[in-house]
């Protein structure tokens, strides 16, 4: 069991754990002292959860950690602007371990603190951030993966430059696997094909599932609240687990709940002045119920984001993407 002061040895050196930072279902993250005297975020497999998990799930967690390390190690140096940077990797206690760059926390916590203080981000900042996340998704997809768990808690923030970086790639799946038996992601931020399985029980989540989550994030940043669709999926999952999709369908007469209500689209568009039409087009495109109706690739989204900024504020400088 690791604790404050424990030493973790990876490929490039030794790291001393100084304070817990948090973690996910299968991972735990510590602030650690690096060999050069700096600080890193050290990510380890959660051994306490591992001991209580079924054997099959333990293997899945280990595979997810290895996949995350392999993906990050495969990025070229110039690919890391909006993807968390891998500093070192190896194993600890026979399990995968990674040293990652240490940032200022996650976007969910940062936004909660800002809103508690009565501060709200400007629509221009929301567009900039979504352009950054779109760039990160483009790199994930170009590497042959679907991310599948885009949400504020998986975006790390560098406060000085208001820069976001995508983190926690354990849920990612290869793009070539068009369907999976495994449920992946967080219900409140998922595309319909992630939450509602196909008739054969498989989930048909793909590259465009990430674009739906990007739309949900953009709405959240601009309007300050989650989509009602996402809130309903999250509530259903909280009450019924993976079977929550059936309860939600039943509530809507067997149909899927609308992914974007008309009043939500109007509220979103109202923040963009003369760009209201472009805002509506962008949001409706990202949140289209069927994947084939969403943008095909990150470049198409980048162009739509740029058109919205131009129309609503006349900004001519390049977006932060």
What confidence tens digit (pLDDT) does each residue in 263-278 have? 999 999 999 999 999 9
Q: Which residue has the higher pLDDT, 210 or 143?
A: 210
pTM beyond cutoff 0.85 = yes
DSSP string, 37-99: S-EEEEEEE-HHHHHHS-HHHHHHHHHHHHHHHHHHHTS-GGG-TTBPPEEEEEEETTEEEEE
Give the pLDDT mean for 198-219.
94
What per-residue confidence (pLDDT) applies to 318?
38
SS3 state of residue 199:
coil
Do 121 and 49 belong together in one domain? no
- Report the CATH number at residue 63: 3.30.200.20
The answer to whether position 1 is within a domain reads no
Give the pLDDT mean for 226-236.
97
* Most confident range, picked from 22-26, 74-78, 221-225: 221-225
Do 143 and 185 belong together in one domain? yes
The answer to whether position 319 is within a domain reads no
Give the pLDDT mean for 294-300.
96
- Residue 209: CB atoms within 10 A of its CB come to 25
Q: Is the pLDDT of residue 38 over 80?
A: yes
**Cα distance between residue 4 and residue 23, in whole Å:** 16
Given a contact cutoff of 8 angstroms between Cβ atoms, the answer to whether 92 and 62 are in contact is no
Helix orientation angle between 262-269 and 207-223, rounded to the nearest 10 degrees: 60
Give the pLDDT mean for 40-57.
83
Q: Is the pLDDT of residue 1 over 90?
A: no
- Report the CATH number at residue 258: 1.10.510.10
pLDDT tens per residue across span 147-188: 999 999 999 999 887 899 999 888 888 887 666 667 889 999
Average pLDDT, the chain: 90
Q: Is the pLDDT of residue 79 over 80?
A: no
Q: Quick one: pLDDT band at residue 80, thresholds 50, 70, 90? A: low
Domain boundary among 78, 101, 124: 101
Give the pLDDT mean for 229-245.
96
Domain boundary among 101, 123, 139: 101
Give the pLDDT mean for 201-215.
94
Domain with 20, as residue range(s), is: 7-101
Do 20 and 154 belong together in one domain? no
Do 83 and 215 belong together in one domain? no
Q: Scan for tokens 């039409």, then name that residue.
A: 277
Do 269 and 178 belong together in one domain? yes
Q: Quick one: pLDDT band at residue 29, thresholds 50, 70, 90? A: very high
Listed residue (92, 67, 106, 68) closest to 16, CA to CA: 92
Q: Quick one: pLDDT band at residue 56, thresholds 50, 70, 90? A: confident
What per-residue confidence (pLDDT) applies to 220?
98
Number of domains in the chain: 2
Q: Is the pLDDT of residue 26 over 80?
A: no
Q: Scan for tokens 């190690």, then name that residue.
A: 73
Do 281 and 298 belong together in one domain? yes
Do 175 and 225 belong together in one domain? yes
- Residue 102: CB atoms within 10 A of its CB come to 20
Domain boundary among 101, 125, 153: 101
The answer to whether position 84 is within a domain reads yes
What per-residue confidence (pLDDT) applies to 61?
78
Q: Quick one: pLDDT band at residue 317, thresholds 50, 70, 90? A: very low
Do 207 and 122 belong together in one domain? yes
What per-residue confidence (pLDDT) applies to 179?
66
What per-residue confidence (pLDDT) applies to 182?
74
The answer to whether position 2 is within a domain reads no
Do 50 and 111 belong together in one domain? no
Which range, of 68-72, 247-251, 282-286, averages the lowest pLDDT?
Answer: 68-72
Q: Quick one: pLDDT band at residue 25, thresholds 50, 70, 90? A: low
Q: Scan for tokens 């509602």, then name that residue.
A: 196
What are the residue ranges of helices labelled H in the chain? 47-52, 55-73, 107-116, 123-142, 192-195, 207-223, 228-240, 244-251, 262-269, 276-286, 298-313
Do 129 and 90 belong together in one domain? no
pLDDT tens per residue across span 91-135: 998 899 999 999 999 999 999 999 999 999 999 999 999 999 999
The answer to whether position 17 is within a domain reads yes
Do 90 and 115 belong together in one domain? no
Q: Which residue has the higher pLDDT, 166 or 68?
A: 166
């Amino acid at each position: 069991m690791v604790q404050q002061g424990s030493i973790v040895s990876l490929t490039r050196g030794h790291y001393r754990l100084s304070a817990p930072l948090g973690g996910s279902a299968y991972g735990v993250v510590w602030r650690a002292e690096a060999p050069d005297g700096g600080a890193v975020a050290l990510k380890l497999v959660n051994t306490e959860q591992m001991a209580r998990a079924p054997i099959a799930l333990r293997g899945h967690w280990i595979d997810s950690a290895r996949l995350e390390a392999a993906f990050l190690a495969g990025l070229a140096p110039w690919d890391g602007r909006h993807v968390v940077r891998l500093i070192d990797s190896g194993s600890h206690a026979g399990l995968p371990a990674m040293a990652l760059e240490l940032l200022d926390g996650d976007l969910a916590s940062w936004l909660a603190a800002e809103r508690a203080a009565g501060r709200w981000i400007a629509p221009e900042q929301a567009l900039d951030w979504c352009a950054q996340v779109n760039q990160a998704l483009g790199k994930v997809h170009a590497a042959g993966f679907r991310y599948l768990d885009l949400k504020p808690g998986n975006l790390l923030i560098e406060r000085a430059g208001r820069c976001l970086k995508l983190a926690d790639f354990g849920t990612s799946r290869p793009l070539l696997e068009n369907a999976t038996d495994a449920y992946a992601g967080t219900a409140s931020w998922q595309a319909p094909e992630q939450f509602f399985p196909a008739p054969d029980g498989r989930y048909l989540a793909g590259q465009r599932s990430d674009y739906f989550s990007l739309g949900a994030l953009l709405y959240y940043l601009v309007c300050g609240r989650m989509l009602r669709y996402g809130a309903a999926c999250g509530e259903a999952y909280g009450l019924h687990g993976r079977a929550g999709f059936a309860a939600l369908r039943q509530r809507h007469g067997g149909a899927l709940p609308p992914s974007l209500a008309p009043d939500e689209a109007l509220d979103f568009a109202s923040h963009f002045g003369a760009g209201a039409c472009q805002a509506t087009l962008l949001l409706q495109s990202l949140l289209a119920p069927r994947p084939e109706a969403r943008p095909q690739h990150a470049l198409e989204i980048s162009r739509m984001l740029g058109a919205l900024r131009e129309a609503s504020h006349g900004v001519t400088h390049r977006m932060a993407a």
